[in-house]
Structure 1
Amino acid sequence: MREFTSPAPAGPPARGGLADSLYDTAERSPGLVQLARRSGSGEEWHEVTASVFRDEVMALAKGLLTRGVRYGDRVALMSRTRYEWTLFDYALWSVGAITVPVYPTASAEQVRWILAETQAVACLVEDEDHAMTVGAVCDALPELTGIWQLDRDCTAAITEDGRGVPDSLVHRQRLGVTAENVATVVYTSGTTGRPKGCLLTHGDLATAADALLDGWGDVFRDTGGPQPSTLLFLPLAHVYGRMVQVAAVRGGFRIGHVAEVSTDSLLPAFASYRPTFLHMVPYVLDKVFHQARRAAEEAGRGELFEQARQVAVEWATAREQRALGRGPGPGPKLRLRHLAYERTVYQRLRAVLGGRVRGMMCGGSSLGRELGLFFTGVGLDLYEGYGLTETSAAITANPAGRQKLGTVGRPVPGATVAIADDGEVWVRGAGVFGGYLNHPHCTAESLFDGWFGTGDLGSLDEDGYLTITGRKKDVIVTSSGKNLAPTALEERVQAHPLVSQCLVVGDDRPYVAALITLDPAALAHWLKTHGRGQLDPWAVLSDEELHAEIQRAVAAANTAVSRAESIRAFRLLPREFDVDQGLLTPSLKLRRSAIVAYYGQDIEELYAP
């Protein structure tokens, strides 16, 4: 088994609970701006200092004690990403309670399963719909004693209940929390079955956050620049978003919240908040890139944008090679060409993200190398990483100043990554969880002598950089016995601007085929530039010119694989896979088995004689 280890962080191991850093910062730097929040739908951000946030957390914690929340109790949080989630997280941790994130899109059955398994004593919900979802199953939840609704100002009501409770009572609870105590039960995304609750301790999250700050602190901080700040739009029910929150609070960074992961919501927020760094997912980067390209084409600057894209990729590639000691870096001609596009293209694209972003970390799913090189070449240093719920988010990331885009980097400080004989990625160290709630058999199957088997396939290069090639359970075996990990092929098809999603099929079939969805905005732009009127979804699927365009995307993807692995047939679908259909996880990963079942008839027709 080949493995690679990164040196442990220089600082001491984490002690105490996650809430301690909040109180320590408020004591040390009371005027430090810790968060910023918006009121209503306005674009004005109101700063919240460390001392003000501590006081809000303390007041809410006292109210939670009055409501009957005790040390070790589990409380569910079902909401989109917003200021109050962070407030409740730290108030609950202040009294030694355990938080249980629930995706706001969860069905009643999923909510019932999570609340019953965790024996949650209360559930915080965002709105009436969420309250009704929980209410529909509460008869089966005898431990549930309260449903608190944010849109009915439960925060103020709970805070009011705590008036008269001494601060010392909260501090007594908080100081009893150790790094070994469970902080949160975070459920896996459920791409391969029913979600399982991962038991993450205060030490797991703190260690993982500190490893991130230790290895990439200079990326976030800029000497002489503004206070590091990030805009948190990732779901806080997902471990990635949660880790960003914990790291920002521990690092003294300013946090803002945005509830919707869509360019319509994010772009105005980026412009008004002006973050200095971002934690991204490939979905958002892809949308930003394609929107910028469409805008350029509509303005008659499509050729200019394409030339600028090519130069950005070349410049970032040369710079990467220099950082790795394998080349001299961008030459004089390339530097001049790059400078020529700085004001006309690159500066404008950076302005879309607020104009102050220095670096971005990207994870959650695979990012195409060319897209990563493009954003780096534009002046937005990109650091791709990899992690799972079971590893408290990132277990690998590209080192600061030594990125190899297309890989997910090296182990974070204190972590080890190994490749088993069958190609599975195994990890240990920095934030790896202790087990699944109520599932000792699954825990025993996943953990062995400190190692966690991720279920992902990958490879380590000579420098210890990890490349993820697919999921063990996703490997397709055709009827002729050919094995194929579909992820890389799907990503190549999705590189075409019209393609939104691609699912490769072919298990026990004579050849490989694909289900493909189209990006609505890109399709509208394509129809307009081709002098075509809008088509209804079903007419789109039978349009010969459009079909030929997607065929070219499939043919280009097939050049990277053998004939036996290539896509021989495909079916365009009338709508994108989405969470509401149950075809995507809340973190926007494909639920392969659900898609295959939902579109079973379409798949059968792909193989009809």
Structure 2
Amino acid sequence: MTEQEIKTRLAQIWGKLPGQALLTDGKTSLTYQAFIKEVELLTACLAQHKVSSVALLADNSLQWVIVDFACQQLGIALLPLPAFFSKQQIRHSVNTAACQLLITDNPALLCGRLLCGSKGDELGVEQNTITVQRSTHSSLYSSVSTPLSFYRITNESAVAQDNPLPEHTSKVTFTSGTTGAPKGVCLSLEQQWQVALSLKNAVTPMLTDKVKRHLCLLPLSTLLENIAGIYAAMLGGATVVVPTLAELGFNGSSSLNFTALLKQIGRHQPSSLITTPEILKGLTMSAGQGWQVPSNLAFVAVGGARVSSSLISQAQQAGIPAFEGYGLSECASVVSVNNGSEHQSGSAGKPLGHVKVSVAEGEVVVSGNIFLGYAGDRSSWGQTRYATGDIGHIDSQGYLHITGRKKNTLISSFGRNINPEWLESELKAFTGIRQALVFGDSQPYCIAGILPQMMAGQAQVSDEQISAMLAKMNSHLPDYARVKDWFYLDECLFADPELNTANGRVRRKQMTAFLQTQIQRMYRQAS
């Protein structure tokens, strides 16, 4: 979809819904026409800055979406920054994308995270004298308590690079990666909206008149929520609800007040959600404890990590219409998804119509809509196919199955390949298990480290219950993949930046090395 096609399609859809809110945060609501006026207001402001790359460090809000669309209007590359990125990762991202301007709704956060100034390796910024202009109509910016602030980036290392972004870059999304220096995935405007359109075509026909209100649960800096949440919902004529992350109960990348999250879901009564496996698990547990699932909830997409088929089944039995999908930033987010009419347990759904998915030597390969390349890495530009690093297969009915990461595969002492993510997702599906790590490389069988759910310093499951869970899981597994022993993990391990990425993904190699003494002790005791 070109920029003009996007404008035309949205105008056609929302021209038929003149009084319906396109966006709301629960306090301020914007119809399509009011939204366009706000975008035009900010577009005029941004045009005065004469920049080609902008960084956005802001909470979920109506302003976030307006900035996104204003950058699209001007052909400016937008770099959404996750609030949970460390200051080193923020500086790395901004410098790599050669951002010339930084927009924030929280100047105090800016100085705290970027160390305003110009000493050493700090990112120098100065507040620009150009402010958001107030219009004569009822402007969003005159009604909110935290208007946007603009900062000119002055650090020469951030602006001196020679065209660090591929041509036609509209958005730069930095993956968490396995190191402290994430990679910047560059995407065009057409690539992003093509995914949104394919999602709308794949899901909406089966849910005609059912998906009317989408509630954003994930940070908008997450590409999945940005494209599948905002863009696809707009194309489907659904109102997008955007509470702040604090209102949703988020504190950092992996701390969540579930009571606050349930309150927002109850308040806004959404018909669609996008969740991670951990959030879905919490919703399922809450439903089992009496929480009332919204009666109009019609579609819950689950992504971000591998999800157990048993968790999907538990959710559906609890009245939560959960469906697994699969995607990567390098493919502009979603590649495949299950839906209400076409779904298969244990699969990641059928590939969307705009991509071609194949499997080469067990590895999933995607072509048709892959990224433009990585920021600052010309060797990655211009690819036509992307080897995902994920192990999987496509069955006879066309469903894609993902079993794990190629680089994480364990090879037992009997020569059998085992994907630890497969077993870990099955373990984490059990109520009472918060985190699990499976080990067994060059060993005769697998063992697991387990972190139980805690409350007031007490584990919510006993040793006997954990052992019973393992036995239940093993009864459905081939003998070579069974987990035959386990030990407790300490919660502090998952707060250590040396052992985890900024958004909570375990650095498997480092974690295994750190726990090696404990792992070896388990095998010695068994022998």
Q: Could you tell me which amino acid in structure 2 is paired with residue 114 of structure 1?
A: S
146 and 475 in structure 1: CA distance in 2 versus 1, 3 angstrom threshold: farther
TM-score by length of 2: 0.82
- Bigger drift between 459-468 and 579-588 goes to 579-588
Alpha-carbon contact 1:496-1:553 (below 8 Å) kept: yes
State yes or no: 1:183 paired with 2:170.
Answer: yes
State yes or no: 1:275 paired with 2:289.
Answer: no
397 and 92 in structure 1: CA distance in 2 versus 1, 3 angstrom threshold: same
1:219 CA displacement: 4.0
User: What residue number does 2:192 align with?
Assistant: 205
For the residue of structure 2 that corresponds to 1:182, the secondary structure is coil
1:87 CA displacement: 1.8
State yes or no: 1:245 paired with 2:245.
Answer: no
User: What residue number does 1:31 align with?
Assistant: 19
Query: In 2, distance between residues paired with 1:28 and 1:563?
Result: 58
1:31 CA displacement: 3.3
552 and 380 in structure 1: CA distance in 2 versus 1, 3 angstrom threshold: closer
Cα deviation 1:538-575 (Å, max 9, x = unaligned): xx69xxx8222212222222333444433233221232
State yes or no: 1:117 paired with 2:112.
Answer: no
1:27 CA displacement: 6.6
For the residue of structure 2 that corresponds to 1:181, the secondary structure is coil
565 and 246 in structure 1: CA distance in 2 versus 1, 3 angstrom threshold: same
Structure 1 segment 298-447 matched on structure 2, within 5 A: 351-352=292-293, 354-420=294-360, 422-429=361-368, 431-442=369-380, 447=383
State yes or no: 1:64 paired with 2:43.
Answer: no
User: What residue number does 2:474 align with?
Assistant: 558
Query: In 1, distance between residues paired with 2:110 and 2:6?
Result: 28
74 and 284 in structure 1: CA distance in 2 versus 1, 3 angstrom threshold: same
User: What residue number does 1:499 align with?
Assistant: 433
Query: In 2, distance between residues paired with 1:493 and 1:248?
Result: 33
For the residue of structure 2 that corresponds to 1:414, the secondary structure is coil
Cα deviation 1:558-595 (Å, max 9, x = unaligned): 33344443323322123276467465556554332343
Structure 1 segment 580-591 matched on structure 2, within 5 A: 581=497, 583-585=499-501, 588-591=504-507
For the residue of structure 2 that corresponds to 1:124, the secondary structure is strand
194 and 586 in structure 1: CA distance in 2 versus 1, 3 angstrom threshold: closer
Query: In 1, distance between residues paired with 2:149 and 2:11?
Result: 23
113 and 504 in structure 1: CA distance in 2 versus 1, 3 angstrom threshold: same
Query: In 2, distance between residues paired with 1:356 and 1:184?
Result: 33
For the residue of structure 2 that corresponds to 1:404, the secondary structure is coil
User: What residue number does 1:569 align with?
Assistant: 485
User: What residue number does 2:86 align with?
Assistant: 107
State yes or no: 1:155 paired with 2:89.
Answer: no
Structure with a larger share of its residues in helix: 1
Cα RMSD (Å): 3.3
State yes or no: 1:474 paired with 2:408.
Answer: yes
- Bigger drift between 392-401 and 589-598 goes to 589-598
Query: In 1, distance between residues paired with 2:343 and 2:172?
Result: 33
Bigger-Rg structure (1/2): 1
Query: In 1, distance between residues paired with 2:302 and 2:441?
Result: 31
Alpha-carbon contact 2:287-2:318 (below 8 Å) kept: no
1:141 CA displacement: 6.5
For the residue of structure 2 that corresponds to 1:211, the secondary structure is helix
Cα deviation 1:473-512 (Å, max 9, x = unaligned): 1101245543211122112222321111111122344542
Cα deviation 1:439-488 (Å, max 9, x = unaligned): 234558xx4xx221111001111111011000001101245543211122
Q: Could you tell me which amino acid in structure 1 is paired with residue 425 of structure 2?
A: E
Alpha-carbon contact 2:116-2:124 (below 8 Å) kept: no
Query: In 1, distance between residues paired with 2:480 and 2:16?
Result: 63
For the residue of structure 1 that corresponds to 2:335, the secondary structure is strand
Alpha-carbon contact 2:403-2:422 (below 8 Å) kept: yes
Cα deviation 1:60-89 (Å, max 9, x = unaligned): 2222233x143xx21112234232211211
Alpha-carbon contact 2:14-2:237 (below 8 Å) kept: no
Cα deviation 1:28-83 (Å, max 9, x = unaligned): 75533101113xxxxxx4422111111122212222233x143xx21112234232
> Structure 1: 5+ residue runs without aligned partners?
1-12, 39-44, 159-179, 297-348, 525-533
Query: In 1, distance between residues paired with 2:91 and 2:117?
Result: 6
Alpha-carbon contact 1:476-1:485 (below 8 Å) kept: yes
232 and 208 in structure 1: CA distance in 2 versus 1, 3 angstrom threshold: same
Q: Could you tell me which amino acid in structure 2 is paired with residue 241 of structure 1?
A: E
State yes or no: 1:49 paired with 2:43.
Answer: no
Q: Could you tell me which amino acid in structure 1 is paired with residue 24 of structure 2?
A: A
Query: In 2, distance between residues paired with 1:374 and 1:596?
Result: 31
**Aligned partner (choices 72, 78, 86) of residue 93 of structure 1:** 72
1:271 CA displacement: 1.1
> Structure 2: 5+ residue runs without aligned partners?
133-140, 151-166, 251-255
Query: In 2, distance between residues paired with 1:26 and 1:155?
Result: 27
For the residue of structure 2 that corresponds to 1:155, the secondary structure is coil
**Aligned partner (choices 208, 214, 219) of residue 221 of structure 1:** 208
Cα deviation 1:134-186 (Å, max 9, x = unaligned): 1258654778555899999663667xxxxxxxxxxxxxxxxxxxxx7221011
Higher relative CO (Cα under 8 Å, sequence separation at least 6) belongs to 1
- Bigger drift between 256-265 and 486-495 goes to 256-265
**Aligned partner (choices 234, 256, 259) of residue 218 of structure 2:** 234
Query: In 2, distance between residues paired with 1:547 and 1:126?
Result: 47
1:198 CA displacement: 0.9
Q: Could you tell me which amino acid in structure 2 is paired with residue 493 of structure 1?
A: L
For the residue of structure 2 that corresponds to 1:419, the secondary structure is strand
495 and 502 in structure 1: CA distance in 2 versus 1, 3 angstrom threshold: same
Cα deviation 1:264-302 (Å, max 9, x = unaligned): 222111111111222222211101112333x25xxxxxx
User: What residue number does 2:153 align with?
Assistant: none
- Bigger drift between 108-117 and 183-192 goes to 183-192
552 and 26 in structure 1: CA distance in 2 versus 1, 3 angstrom threshold: closer
Cα deviation 1:211-264 (Å, max 9, x = unaligned): 111121224531xx6x71100111222210111212223333211123145422
Q: Could you tell me which amino acid in structure 2 is paired with residue 210 of structure 1?
A: L
555 and 365 in structure 1: CA distance in 2 versus 1, 3 angstrom threshold: same
TM-score by length of 1: 0.72
Alpha-carbon contact 1:395-1:415 (below 8 Å) kept: yes
211 and 121 in structure 1: CA distance in 2 versus 1, 3 angstrom threshold: same
**Identity across aligned pairs (percent)?**
24
**Aligned partner (choices 471, 482, 486) of residue 420 of structure 2:** 486
138 and 241 in structure 1: CA distance in 2 versus 1, 3 angstrom threshold: farther
Alpha-carbon contact 2:217-2:273 (below 8 Å) kept: no
247 and 575 in structure 1: CA distance in 2 versus 1, 3 angstrom threshold: same
- Bigger drift between 55-64 and 505-514 goes to 505-514
